[in-house]
Amino acid sequence: MITIKRPFLAILILVTIFGGILISTALGFWKTQSTKTPAQLKTGQFAGMPDPGDIRGSYTFLDIEKAFGIKATILSEAFSFDKIIVKPEDKVNVLETLYADAVASKEIGTDSVRLFVAVMKKIPYTPEDGTGLPPNAILYLIQNKLLDSDKASQYKVTELETLGHTMKALTPSQETSASGQAGTTSSTEQIGTKPVQGTTATASATGEHTATEKTVTGATTFADV
């Protein structure tokens, strides 16, 4: 019977552990931090492309721009609404907190971004039950002929539609930047929410009141689509 001394056994265990880590690192199996790069689709027409379904809540909109070539400013503006302001450097999971008090019928969060990106890239994706899109995101997709009215009705969030808003139309050529490169948008490319503007009633010197008709300014309202 072979007897192994304890000091030798301890050294053997350490060599085995750290040797395994070194080999795993060299082969790419050992990762100490996330790469912020979604996995690639393995099969089908879109094989080799990044998988929208692998977008994590810890990704920022800038990370998504690098992975999918969609401008971070387009993404952040699509998911902004009224007083909810999303910035390109924000993490995707911030949406769940920002919309928590405003939305009850559906959830706007990480899966909403996966859905939006999938539609933008025309990659089939089945969202989770209850996933919704904010009005700006739906309008952008409709205006660029990426979403039909039936799907829009499926993803719309009733609570948000009751709030007045407008959004500038974007052309398809403005929607994406070169894959892997950061992009910026000018003020004419921005999707945004704008208040309804109108004139107020004024009083004349004689005490008579004359009210002028209110008008709505903006490019397109959700009700018009």
Residues 6+ apart with CB under 8 A from 223: none
- What are the tens digits of pLDDT across the range 65-92? 999 999 999 999 999 998 999 999 999 9
Alpha-carbon gap, residue 49 to 40, rounded angstroms: 5
* 65 within 8 A of 81, measured Cβ to Cβ: no
DSSP string, 66-130: HHH-B-HHHHHHHT-BTTB---TTSBTTHHHHHTTTT-SSSB-SHHHHHHHHHHHHT----PPTT
The answer on pLDDT for 181 being more than 70 is no
Query: Which residue matches tokens 């949406």?
Result: 95
- What are the tens digits of pLDDT across the range 114-162? 999 999 999 999 999 999 999 999 999 999 999 998 999 999 998 887 6
Mean pLDDT over residues 189-209, rounded? 40
Q: What does pTM read for this prediction?
A: 0.62
Mean pLDDT over residues 33-59, rounded? 91
Alpha-carbon gap, residue 82 to 193, rounded angstroms: 6
